[in-house]
Chains A and B, each alone.
Chain A
Amino acid sequence: MKTGNLAKLALGLMLALLFGILTDFYIFPGKNQARLFFRSGLMVALLFGLAASLLACNLTRVSVMSRQAKITGSNTAKRGSVIFHLGLVLILFGFGISALFGMKGRVMIPEGVAVRFPSEISSVETGKLHSFEEYTVGLNEMELVREGENIGQVRSHVDFITNGQSGRRVIEINRPAKFRGYYWRSMNWGYSVHLIIKSEDMTVLDNFLNIATHRDGLYYDRYSVPDLGEFQVRFYANMPVQGKPAEKAVFPDRPAVEIKLLSSDTSGAEPGGPIIPLGQTGKLGNYTVSFSEHRFWEEFDVSSDPGESFIFLGSILAVAGLFLRVVFRG
């Protein structure tokens, strides 16, 4: 194929990619969760075609350049262009490697609990050729680093246990830990509360409840226990001695929980549930509720990215190539 035709093909693929993205975003709104186009075979074919045409263009260009170099001398700007496109091919190749050999998943671990990897990982997406390494991961401790009234950092002390050996790593936001080829990143956190609910003659619940964290900065969740029915628990990080609890406080200075039974007909929470500070007991209808302890839970993103080195190398080449192309005139 001639260079001109290859260039037309590359331009056509770039335009197809552009219109594919715009179509998925704006012609089919509401399908953003599924991202049909971005996960489709068509997108893969488009990116593969783009990489192939870039490579073919590059090879043709290199062959022309080497012939011209014998006559007119080398052209650094054109070399830059070749290096830039080669970088893009490497980046796409890296993505391909990661898609085939990599994996991605999430796991929620409360403080003091260990999970088996990968059997206890949820929402796992694995590449067709990925093979897992097995080990145990425990969240020893999580801390919120205070900076004034804000969270300066979320720091977790995580134990990785394999073949009876344990190694501790510190994970922070923006600073994931890598263990046996898997990156562990802090994604979300929240509170876990230990509640003891008793009726006159029996214990209905004696367990930790992991309370979901919502975007509005509130912590609440719904649970169901056979003898009690459905109920909602809300966690307040800071319950003042007098007055209403601070709605969006994050640091557990004076923690308290509010419990409401949910009416079956409306599935809404009944008003006026008791607010029970840490270490105290309250009444919920015919039940007594004790709030004895709280701890953090943390959600981790786990991923394996074997194409990473190709992506990094490709990025360096792309930037270096463009730099040569811009600085030296063609």
Chain B
Amino acid sequence: MSEPEMLFFWITVTSYVLVTLLYINWITGSRISAAKAERALIWSGFLANTAVVVTRTVTSGHLPVRTLYELNVTVAWLIVGVYLTARRVYSNTSLVGLISVPFAFLVMGWGYAENPAIEPLTAAYKSSWLAVHVLFALLSTACYVFATGTSIMYLLRNRFTGAAGVKYRLLPDPADLDRISVRLVMFGFLSGTIMLLSGSIWAKLLWGSYWSWDPVETWSLISWLVYGIYLHLYSTFGWRGNKLAWLCLGCLATNIISFWAVGIVTPDTYHNLELITRPVD
């Protein structure tokens, strides 16, 4: 890890932690205070996160998608990027940052604690499909995190009414939160579809088979199917409100399992790319 990268990394984490404290202050104080400071903090954090991704790319000579640290730094950048974009498009959604921003700095910290050292690219990684597959996987996770944040806000807003719910008046109407959540799931589903298809094409080039029922592959398919069912339940079966919001939370759990947990509990997966260069035995 180079010195500039280390500096940008800590600027990012500090900014994200401070802005999270501000969001907590907003929700507990039921009013938006220090809005300019919030904008300065979130944007400085995001720009520093961008700088981490760029410096890592330059120093390692490849896209930061090789190690857990690199994946987590990149997904954090996309999570906050999606959050900043979405709150410009959908008004009064700044408080969703209470979910997105801590998610981002927690995964960054986890990646850093794991191992921030640069690893060389093995031959298996040398494919143009790598960028498409991994970046869309990360983008889908970023969209799903925002959708889940919106669903959580929906549940809070719906749960607390009257005096107890005054602190959630900063949020859009529940019906709007529902709609925003579905919209972000749709973007995530599009990215997830590109991730699955590009991964299959890459797998065909690398292993000779589109699909091998590898644990990570299988969980990616499970996650994709679960989000597909979510969208069907919304558009065809008219699911709205609490049950859709709870389902959105469950869907994110499958995404987290496929993205992080499976690779850890089953190190024998093909997605442990140490083994890909020579998938022996």
Q: Do A and B bind each other?
A: yes
Q: Which of B183, B205, B210, B218 contacts A176 (CB 8 A)?
A: B205
Whether B123 pairs with A322 at a CB distance below 8 angstroms is no
A21-B221, A154-B277 are known contacts. Are A174 and B187 too (CB-CB below 8 A)? no
Q: Does B226 contact A (CB under 8 A)?
A: yes
- List residues of chain A with CB within 8 A of the CB of B123: 145, 151-154, 172-174
Contact between chains at A315 and B201 (CB < 8 Å) = yes
B206 sits at the interface (CB 8 A) = yes
Q: Nearest chain A CB to B90's CB is how many angstroms away?
A: 14
Contact with A along B238-281 (1 / 0, CB 8 A): 00000000000000000000000000000000000001011111
B contact residues around A302 at 8 Å (CB): 208
List of A residues within 8 angstroms of B213 by Cβ:
32, 35, 38
Knowing A7-B232, A214-B281, A319-B194, say if A17 contacts B126 (CB, 8 Å): no
Is A175 an interface residue, CB under 8 A from the partner? yes
Tally chain B residues at the interface, Cβ within 8 Å: 43
**Closest partner residue, chain A, to B189 (CB atom):** A322
Set B222, B233, B279: member contacting A187, Cβ < 8 A: B279
Docked-complex contact B222 and A22, CB < 8 angstroms: yes
Instruction: Tell whether A185 is near chain B: CB-to-CB under 8 Å.
Output: yes
Q: Which of A87-134 contact B (CB under 8 A)?
A: 95, 104
0/1 interface trace, chain A 1-40, chain B, CB 8 Å (1 if under): 0001001001100110110011001000000100100100
Question: Which of the residues A172, A215, A322 comes within 8 Å of B190, measured between beta carbons?
Answer: A322
Please determine whether A11 and B187 come into contact, CB atoms closer than 8 angstroms. Answer: no
Q: How far apart are the CA atoms of A281 and B82 in the complex, in Å?
A: 66
Verify A173–B206 contact, CB threshold 8 A. yes
Kindly count the residue-residue contacts between A and B in the assembled complex, taking CB atoms under 8 Å apart.
Answer: 109
Closest residue of chain A to B119 (Cβ to Cβ) is: A150
Query: Is residue A73 contacting chain B, with contact meaning CB distance below 8 A?
Result: no
Q: How large is the interface on A (under 10, 10 to 19, 20 to 34, 35 or more residues)?
A: 35 or more
How many Å lie between the Cα of A325 and that of B185 in the bound state? 12
- Distance between Cα atoms of A294 and B123 in the complex (Å): 24
Given A35-B213, A150-B120, A322-B193: A18 and B280 within 8 A (CB)? no
Contact B229 A305 (CB under 8 A): no
Q: Which residues of A contact B233 (CB under 8 A)?
A: 11
Query: Are A323 and B197 interface neighbours, CB within 8 A?
Result: no
* Contact present for A18 and B204 (CB under 8 Å): no
- Is B122 touching A18 in the complex (CB atoms < 8 A)? no
- When A38-B213, A301-B208, A315-B201 are in contact, do A173 and B193 touch as well, CB less than 8 Å? no
Contacting residue for B208 out of A32, A185, A326, CB 8 A: A185
In the assembled complex, how far is the CB of residue A114 from the closest CB belonging to chain B, in whole angstroms?
21
Task: Provide 21 A-B residue pairs closer than 8 Å at the C-beta atoms, listed in order of the A residue.
Answer: A7-B232, A11-B236, A14-B229, A18-B222, A21-B221, A22-B222, A25-B215, A35-B213, A145-B123, A152-B123, A152-B126, A153-B123, A173-B206, A176-B205, A185-B205, A185-B207, A188-B280, A189-B278, A213-B278, A305-B204, A322-B193
- A contact set with B: CB distance below 8 Å: 4, 7, 10-11, 14-15, 17-18, 21-22, 25, 32, 35, 38, 95, 104, 145, 147-148, 150-154, 172-176, 183, 185, 187-189, 212-215, 301-303, 305, 311-312, 315, 318-319, 322-323, 325-326, 330
A7-B237, A188-B278 are known; give 8 further A-B pairs, CB within 8 A.
A154-B277, A173-B206, A174-B124, A176-B208, A315-B201, A319-B193, A319-B197, A326-B186
> Would you list the 3 A-B pairs with minimal beta carbon distance, nearest first?
A301-B208, A173-B123, A174-B127
